[in-house]
Structure 1
Amino acid sequence: MEATVDDAPTRERVATTILEHGPSTAADLAVQLRLTPAAVRRHLDQLLEAGILETRDQRITGQRGRGRPAKVFVITDAGRDHFAHAYDELAAGALRYLAETGGDDAVLAFARHRLTDLEDRYRPLLALAEPADRPRALAEALSADGFAASVGSTPAGTQMCQHHCPVAHVAEEFPQMCEAETEMFARLLGTHVQRLATIAHGDGICTTHLPTATPAERLPS
């Protein structure tokens, strides 16, 4: 089928929805964008061919049903680069306005709010892990959402590295984004954590020190 005049804007909507909401199935996208499944599939195929998207098996929490897991579509690094400039300018402009009208506390409140969905999705995954395995479980969850995270052991505990940050350019101006993420890690792991380096500050990777949890530690309710 030949591309129509409306194809490009609709493909942009499909990719932007995945960028904003994270890994998504074709069925989810069809509902969110009010498109037919056939139309969504066509745009997804074009975005896959262009290298903007890639597919992964859907992460299942709880008991898994019969059949193969559904495929989810995620933004590639190339896809993030494609959207980064326009998205960063829009986000930075919105946060500048928020800072001017509501102050730094309002920016921090927004930064905390934007992580609510991630925290809600990650908490059940970490609850299934033993305390010592929670950092790795968190890193795997972050990697599934495009943060390219890994963990390594140190004499003082564990260090988690994030090799990609979707909001790095915005966080250069608004460190509240990093602060809110660090708070989220502490809540999920049930222990104090310390941010040692951030991409936003030019360090190349985001590094977080995660003290070794004890068996007595439990996730907060």
Structure 2
Amino acid sequence: MNQALETSTRKVILSMLKTSGPLSVQEISKQLGITEMAVRRHIHSMEKDDLLETKLVRQAMGRPTNVYTLAPKADELFPKKYMQLTLDLLDELLEDQGHEKIERLFEGRQDKLESRYQPRMLDKSLEERVAELAQIQNENGYMVDWSPTQNDTYTFSEHNCPIAQVANTFGQACQCELALFRNLLDASVERTECLAKGGNKCVYIISKK
């Protein structure tokens, strides 16, 4: 079976479990028209990826059988409209309460992130703080790389922006990120390229104050 077909069958099984609820290997095999052995191979692969949960179900006749349901991690594979909902809510807030409310909203988010991550910066040199910030941003999907240049100066690049759609519309997101970096690093931070302004990545130059 080629890779494309393997992937397609896996997606179909996930969709079946999403729409039909718990299913046994036999039920999946019957609905798909493939062998139970083939179904078990897909099930085993998805269990290794933490996409499925299994439960032993007793039957009126015969031996108990395993049924499979989607694990919480599998929910991430299905389409979401969270970003559009966020944009719609921000637009409503802007129309109803104006720019000052939006400013306070983003500043409040910045304060919470700063409180969350400041303990990770304690007792570290600037280079260690830059490395820790890169780890934090990578944990949040920003695809960061960084490197020292000269005289305690560092280049910090984000190749992805998980909130790009928000940042494209609300520049406050970018302003608060810059302020957050300055506060966490206790350093001079300047942005020289920005994804939200048409750049290929977000680039920051970091140096001692």
Change (3 A) 1:176 1:3: same
TM-score in terms of structure 1 length = 0.58
Residue 144, structure 1, aligned to residue 139, structure 2? yes
Partner residue in 2 for 1:44 = 72
Q: Secondary structure in 2 aligned to 1:3?
A: helix
**Which of the numbers 162, 183, 188 marks the counterpart of 2:184?**
188
Query: Separation in 1 of the partners of 2:165 and 2:74?
Result: 28
Partner residue in 1 for 2:167 = 171
CA deviation after TM superposition for structure 1 residue 129, in Å: 2.0
CA contact (8 A) 2:188 2:208 kept: no
**Which of the numbers 101, 125, 133 marks the counterpart of 1:106?**
101
Query: Separation in 1 of the partners of 2:108 and 2:156?
Result: 23
Unaligned runs of 5+ in 2: 1-15, 22-49, 51-68
CA contact (8 A) 1:140 1:150 kept: no
Residue 200, structure 1, aligned to residue 196, structure 2? yes
CA deviation after TM superposition for structure 1 residue 125, in Å: 1.3
Q: Secondary structure in 1 aligned to 2:71?
A: helix
Bigger Rg over Cα: 2
Q: Secondary structure in 1 aligned to 2:90?
A: helix
Unaligned runs of 5+ in 1: 8-25, 27-40, 53-78, 214-221
Query: Separation in 1 of the partners of 2:18 and 2:180?
Result: 44
CA contact (8 A) 2:189 2:205 kept: yes
CA deviation after TM superposition for structure 1 residue 94, in Å: 1.5
TM-score in terms of structure 2 length = 0.60
**RMSD after superposition:** 2.9
Q: What percentage of aligned pairs have identical amino acids? A: 24
CA contact (8 A) 1:129 1:137 kept: no
CA deviation after TM superposition for structure 1 residue 187, in Å: 0.8
Residue 209, structure 1, aligned to residue 205, structure 2? yes
For 2:132, give the aligned amino acid.
A
Q: Secondary structure in 2 aligned to 1:165?
A: coil
CA deviation after TM superposition for structure 1 residue 102, in Å: 2.4
Partner residue in 1 for 2:40 = none
Query: Separation in 1 of the partners of 2:180 and 2:92?
Result: 25
